């Protein structure tokens, strides 16, 4: 993998509302070794491999965004660590950490492969990761993920912690599913020195069961937690949409990601690229830009920079997430696994 020269000097990304874009989330695959009920259909049809960007192309595209001011890069999926030879991408991108062009290289994972890769990730400068985990009950875990083994994930988390990586747990709050376990998840995470964020289920992709049945407002969750603990507002930020509180009794932090009850768009500094090179300026909008064509059309990056600039100029003020109780259709038709978490 190598840097591609450009005849134009790349400019920082500023959207129409004056927000600087310095955070890029890149899906390296739409495939996953789980089939979580809120994310994928059980019988998913995945993209043909020829449609995916190669690891070299992903490196080049990420590097172009870094040229344009991205300071935080998160690799996602599907499950990013199931992509064949994905560590070659981490190894290549780590050069931007060494030069200081990139502040943070991180990953969102289901944890199934962490026992295998944690040591190398830490050695390459990955200091912080997010692990998606909605329950500590092995039976319920299998029900939610359909295919997953809780012991693999817990072992992976322990391996990451042992390697010196800071782990944050992400849990989707699911009404009537893990609702009664939320406090136990907090006690467990904080007991291991991990922050935990709760996420409202988002209307992305057609799945069963209906999100009307799954949706649990985090305002209700927070109110219940305040009956047990003292929650102090925190100014802690990780570059993402979570708003944090500190639990005085545990010393740990809880994040709330609330796309449904309170959108977090006013400070949005993020864009997403899929594994096919499609740039989504907003997770909750269908508008997108093709970056694969300009990437493959020239050895220089000028066309990529121009395509990115045109897309950022269309970044909307906010998303349109609703759960439509009349049609029961999702706000956005693509699955979360396609866009990247």
Mean pLDDT of 100-109: 98
Residue 66 lies in a domain: yes
Annotated binding-site members for S-adenosyl-L-methionine: 38, 78, 132, 202
Residue 263 lies in a domain: no
Q: CA 321 to CA 261: how far, in whole Å?
A: 10
What DSSP character marks residue 214? H
Residue 93 lies in a domain: yes
Annotated binding-site members: 25, 32, 36, 38-39, 74, 78, 108, 132, 168, 202, 265, 268, 270-272, 282
Residue 61: which CATH number?
3.20.20.70
With CA atoms as reference, report the closest residue to 90 among 52, 57, 59, 135: 59
- Residue 301's domain comprises 23-170+268-339
Mean pLDDT of 287-301: 95
Residue 11 lies in a domain: no
Residue 17 lies in a domain: no
Residue 92 lies in a domain: yes
Confidence of residue 251 (pLDDT cuts 50, 70, 90): very high
β-partners of residue 73 are 24, 105
Question: What is the number of structural domains in the chain?
Answer: 1
Out of 121-125, 300-304, 332-336, pick the least confident: 332-336
User: Contact at 8 Å (CB) between 176 and 224?
Assistant: no
Mean pLDDT of 203-224: 71
Out of 117-121, 174-178, 237-241, pick the least confident: 237-241
pTM above 0.95, yes or no: no
131-177: per-residue pLDDT in tens? 999 999 999 999 999 989 999 999 999 999 999 999 999 999 989 99
Phi then psi for residue 101, to 5 deg, are -65, -30
Question: Does the pLDDT at position 129 exceed 90?
Answer: yes
Confidence of residue 238 (pLDDT cuts 50, 70, 90): confident
Residue 29 lies in a domain: yes
Mark out the alpha helices in the chain (DSSP H runs).
55-67, 86-99, 114-123, 138-145, 150-162, 182-191, 211-214, 218-228, 292-297, 302-312, 336-339
Annotated binding-site members for [4Fe-4S] cluster: 32, 36, 39, 265, 268, 282
Report the Cα 293 to chain-centroid distance in Å.
25
Residue 235 lies in a domain: no
Confidence of residue 331 (pLDDT cuts 50, 70, 90): very low
Gyration radius of the chain over CA positions: 19
Cα-based angle 52, 153, 223 (whole degrees, multiple of 5):
100
Question: Does the pLDDT at position 237 exceed 80?
Answer: yes
Which two three-digit tokens encode residue 17? 């509302």
Question: Does the pLDDT at position 189 exceed 50?
Answer: yes
Annotated binding-site members for GTP: 25, 74, 108, 168, 270-272
User: Contact at 8 Å (CB) between 196 and 190?
Assistant: yes
- How many C-beta neighbours within 10 Å does residue 35 have? 18
**What pLDDT, on a 0 to 100 scale, did the predictor assign at position 190?**
98
Give the Å distances, CA to CA, from 229 to 26, 165, 172, 223, 246.
36, 27, 21, 10, 10
Burial pattern 181-220, b for ≥16 Cβ within 10 A else e, equals bbeebbbbbbeeebbbbbbbbbbbbebeeebeebbbebee
Average pLDDT along the chain? 88
């Amino acid at each position: 993998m190598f840097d591609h020269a450009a005849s134009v000097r790349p400019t920082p990304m500023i959207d129409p509302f004056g927000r600087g874009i310095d955070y890029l989330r890149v899906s390296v695959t739409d495939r996953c070794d789980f089939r979580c009920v809120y994310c994928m259909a059980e019988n998913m049809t995945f993209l043909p491999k020829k449609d995916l960007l190669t690891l070299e192309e992903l490196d080049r595209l990420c590097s172009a965004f870094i040229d344009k001011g991205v300071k935080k890069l998160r690799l996602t999926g599907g499950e990013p660590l199931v992509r064949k030879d994905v560590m070659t991408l981490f190894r290549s991108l780590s050069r931007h950490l060494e030069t200081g062009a990139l502040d943070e290289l991180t990953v969102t994972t289901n944890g199934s492969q962490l026992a295998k890769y944690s040591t190398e990730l830490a050695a390459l400068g990955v200091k912080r990761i997010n692990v998606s985990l909605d329950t500590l009950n092995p039976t319920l875990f299998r029900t939610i993920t359909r295919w997953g083994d809780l012991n693999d994930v817990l072992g992976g988390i322990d391996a990451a912690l042992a390697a010196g990586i800071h782990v944050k747990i992400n849990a989707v709050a699911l009404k009537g599913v893990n609702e009664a376990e939320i406090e136990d998840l907090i006690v467990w995470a904080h007991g291991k020195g991990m922050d935990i964020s709760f996420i409202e289920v988002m209307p992305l992709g057609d799945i069963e069961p209906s999100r009307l049945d799954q949706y649990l407002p985090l305002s209700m969750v927070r109110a219940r937690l305040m009956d047990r603990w003292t929650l102090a507002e925190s100014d802690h930020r990780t570059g993402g949409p979570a708003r944090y509180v500190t639990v005085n009794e545990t010393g740990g932090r809880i994040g709330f990601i609330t796309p449904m009850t309170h959108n977090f768009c006013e400070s949005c500094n993020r864009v997403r690229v899929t594994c096919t090179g499609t740039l989504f300026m907003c997770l909750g909008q269908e508008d997108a830009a093709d970056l694969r064509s300009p990437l493959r059309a020239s050895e220089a990056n000028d066309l990529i920079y121009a395509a990115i600039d045109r897309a950022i100029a269309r970044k909307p003020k906010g998303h349109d997430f609703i759960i439509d109780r009349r049609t029961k259709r999702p706000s956005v038709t693509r699955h979360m696994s396609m866009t990247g978490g």
